[in-house]
Amino acid sequence: MNLKQLSHMLALSQTTVSRALNGYPEVNEETRRRVIDAAKRHGYRPNPSARRLATGKTGMIGYVLPTGTAVDIDPHFVEFLSGLGDYARSHELDLVLSPADADDQETTYRRIVANRQVDAVYISSPRPADRRVALVSTLGIPFIVHGRSEGLDFDYPFTDIDNEGAFHEAARLLIQLGHRRLALINGDDRETFAIHRERGVRRALAASGLELGEGHVCSLAMTEENGYRAARRLLERSDAPTAIACSSLIMALGVVRAVRDLGLTIPSDLSLIAHDDVFPWLKPENFSVPLSTTRSSIRLAGARVAERLAARISGLEEGARGEVWPVDLVIRGSVAGAPG
Amino acid sequence: MNLKQLSHMLALSQTTVSRALNGYPEVNEETRRRVIDAAKRHGYRPNPSARRLATGKTGMIGYVLPTGTAVDIDPHFVEFLSGLGDYARSHELDLVLSPADADDQETTYRRIVANRQVDAVYISSPRPADRRVALVSTLGIPFIVHGRSEGLDFDYPFTDIDNEGAFHEAARLLIQLGHRRLALINGDDRETFAIHRERGVRRALAASGLELGEGHVCSLAMTEENGYRAARRLLERSDAPTAIACSSLIMALGVVRAVRDLGLTIPSDLSLIAHDDVFPWLKPENFSVPLSTTRSSIRLAGARVAERLAARISGLEEGARGEVWPVDLVIRGSVAGAPG
DNA sequence: AGAGTCTTCCAAAGCGCTTTGGCCTTTCCA
DNA sequence: TGGAAAGGCCAAAGCGCTTTGGAAGACTCT
């Protein structure tokens, strides 16, 4: 059932039927009702391929997925996706993932824009002066950045969490508890979130005349193994930290394992706070010693990004407003006063 | 730069240019070279919207993503996606995720097929007599099932791993080591993979005149917490198992925690084998006691599914061939002879 | 009553590609 | 040397929708 057939059986022109269906004003309400009714009864759905050829609108949002045998998509992505999908569903939006060579995403961005394959895109895990943000901005497609990029000479719309504030609070708490030697087990420090977290920790330390000791900050891909290695390396030092802030729950698993292997105990030998993106399958309260966290649902962020993308597509949102969400600090058993 | 302009500047008809570019035989090789050369020089890329309107081909593969606030996408998905994306990239395929109400995916399948939004789809986590498989089959769109569905009265193409064989081997090993009371901590037993794994364990036990004791099999969503609870419940029984087979590494984390909480030791009090889908961020060899596993890379499966989808789209693959991949049994420190 | 203004609808021109059907040359073979 | 077959190209008709530029009729106003 296409427009031609439908308009024919209604004895109306395609123009009128199309307008009736798309809510244009220049059509009699009575006629509109007839059209809408007939469309529903015959299950008419406009062919999206035809519509997009005519309008350029696709009803899809895009994401360039970095791939490569050496590239791992991290598990945060799936939680983000849950939120995004949840919103997208209720707005009839589909998501298209365009796999790209991790080292050459530009080509793919250009392609999906030139081909008008999607109405908007989002960018995640931005880095300082992120080229993707600059690119997408000049290409003129609506977009939202999940996270932030610093060092760009223009504003852009983003949704981020207050990573610096979160880790500042976490570090401040540890300092208040008497800790003097803190360490940070961070994610890849080429990414802005990691930079912000380190900044937060340093600021808290500086406020008390302290600093992050040489070698007391590690930046690694957020795997359990890296968490273990980093913790082990830190704790075997002569100036071992008495408290660790850790960028991920998965790394925290490794930290806990290292602590145990070394015959130490949390929190009496080591206080630990980790960032929790809220996974359904791994919860900080279920760590052998319940883990204190800085908590922010990455799933909600996904839903919010989808919402803003939808708003931008329909012209409801404009400009370069950035929003920063506060992060909860949740105290559990893994922190205590400094030993000794 | 569109076809019209390109053909005009080549002083050829659109027909010829189109044919030259698409490799049709009825065009002079000399002409073809000229056309291809000019197209490359001017960066001509056929508009996909126009092409799909004309041909119905989209260059995209689809996946219906179940969503809902109560629905969690599991982290396996992201690894599968890595493999899929890796293959798709090298073949200029995009992936479109269509979010759907988890309880009504049918509408979405019908939509994406009716609208010709994708050239093929894949289905994951199938259940016995899975309605999606039946639906997609009657809708007549190329598809591959990742996993298997039993109880359908027709054949269909799938790629699966030998879950039954894997857990049969695992159980057989444990039995050989003298274990008599085995337990299985499984995933959701509405899904085929879980059913197959249970079947494998039972078959191995039966071969030695044993069986899975009443209450010695748990089927739960694969979270750390559920692994803990299940293990705890099992180990506190008077007829506690001396060995556990576990369907996921994440659940195994919980099992290990439970064992520790109860003051028991692996492997002297309990032998443990878990299934490993090969995550980059959590490795069985890094468990406090290195974990024996049945191993199969879900990432490779993703790449294989993409490959078969591409083959089906281009007509290179037909029919309902199912393929079952063997699973590696990897012995590490978490298994030992039965205690006592 | 005539001019102007809405209201409501339509014919037709795109959007940019593929594909059908056909036309003009060459080439081949009896 | 004539007819068939093959090679190489083109004009035009779709694909199914949106949108432009009217046009006809009804209504208002002076």
Provide the residue-wise pLDDT of chain B in tens; the chain has 340 residues: 899 999 999 999 999 999 999 999 889 999 999 999 999 999 999 999 999 999 999 999 999 999 998 898 989 999 999 999 999 999 989 999 999 999 999 999 999 999 999 999 999 999 999 999 999 999 999 999 999 999 999 999 999 999 999 999 999 999 999 999 999 999 999 999 999 999 999 999 999 999 999 999 999 999 999 999 999 999 999 999 999 999 999 999 999 999 999 999 999 999 999 999 999 999 999 999 999 999 999 999 999 999 999 999 988 999 999 999 999 999 999 999 999 8
In chain B, which residues have their Cβ closer than 8 Å to the Cβ of A42?
A: none
- Taking the C-alpha atoms of residue B286 and residue A232, their distance in angstroms, rounded to an integer, is 13
Instruction: Evaluate if residue A332 carries a pLDDT over 90.
Output: yes
For residue B48, which of A52, A106, A97 has the smallest C-alpha distance? A52
Q: What is the CATH number of domain B60-161+300-325?
A: 3.40.50.2300
In chain B, which residues have their Cβ closer than 8 Å to the Cβ of A281?
A: 72, 74-75, 221-224, 250
- Taking the C-alpha atoms of residue A102 and residue A78, their distance in angstroms, rounded to an integer, is 18
Predicted pLDDT at B295: 98
Query: Could you check: is the Cβ of residue B12 within 7 Å of any atom of nucleic acid strand D?
Result: yes
Name the nucleotide with the smallest C1'–CA separation from A51: D17
* Nearest-neighbour CA in chain B from A292: distance (Å): 17
Predicted pLDDT at B280: 95
pLDDT digits (tens, 9 = 90+) for A217-274: 999 999 999 999 999 999 999 999 999 999 999 999 999 999 999 999 999 999 999 9
Question: In sequence order, what are the residues at sequence separation of 6 or more whose Cβ sits closer than 8 angstroms to the Cβ of residue A108?
Answer: A64, A98, A99, A100
Structure tokens at B58: 């989209």
- Taking the C-alpha atoms of residue B290 and residue B105, their distance in angstroms, rounded to an integer, is 40
CA A258-B275-B328 angle, 5° bins = 110
Of B45, B72, B254, the CB nearest to A280: B72
CA closest to C1' of C14 belongs to A54
pLDDT digits (tens, 9 = 90+) for A48-103: 999 999 999 999 999 999 999 889 898 999 999 999 999 999 998 999 999 999 99
Query: Which one is the CATH code of A163-297: 3.10.150.10, 3.40.366.10, 3.40.50.2300, 2.60.40.10?
Result: 3.40.50.2300
Predicted pLDDT at A74: 87
Predicted pLDDT at B69: 86
Which homologous superfamily is A60-161+300-319 in? Response regulator (3.40.50.2300)
- Report CB contact under 8 Å: A77, B74: no
In chain B, which residues have their Cβ closer than 8 Å to the Cβ of A306?
A: none
Q: Give distance CA A17 / C1' D28 (Å).
A: 29
Query: Could you check: is the Cβ of residue B21 within 7 Å of any atom of nucleic acid strand C?
Result: yes
Q: A136-150 as b/e, with b when 16 or more CB fall inside 10 Å? A: bbeeebbbbbbbbbe
Query: Could you check: is the Cβ of residue B90 within 7 Å of any atom of nucleic acid strand C?
Result: no
- Taking the C-alpha atoms of residue B194 and residue B171, their distance in angstroms, rounded to an integer, is 15
Q: B243-274 as b/e, with b when 16 or more CB fall inside 10 Å? A: bbbbbbbbbbbbbbbbbeeeeeebbebbbbbb
Q: DSSP secondary-structure letter at B279?
A: B
- Closest residue in B to A48 (Cα) is B115
Domain residue ranges of chain B, discontinuous segments joined by +: 3-46, 60-161+300-325, 163-297
pLDDT digits (tens, 9 = 90+) for A145-183: 999 999 999 999 999 999 999 999 999 999 999 999 999
Bases in strand D with any atom closer than 7 Å to a protein CB: 7-22
Predicted pLDDT at B1: 87
Percent of chain A surpassing pLDDT 70: 100
Same fold, B3-46 and B60-161+300-325: no
CATH class of A3-46: mainly alpha
- Report CB contact under 8 Å: B283, A116: no
Q: DSSP secondary-structure letter at A151?
A: S
Structure tokens at B303: 């790449």
Is residue B55 classed as helix, strand or coil in its secondary structure? helix
Instruction: Evaluate if residue A1 carries a pLDDT over 90.
Output: no
CB neighbours (10 Å) of residue A302? 27
Q: What is the DSSP string of A32-87?
A: HHHHHHHHHHTT----HHHHHHHH---SEEEEEEEE-TT----THHHHHHHHHHHH
Q: Among the listed ranges A40-49, A202-211, A269-278, A295-304, which one has the minimum average pLDDT value?
A: A40-49
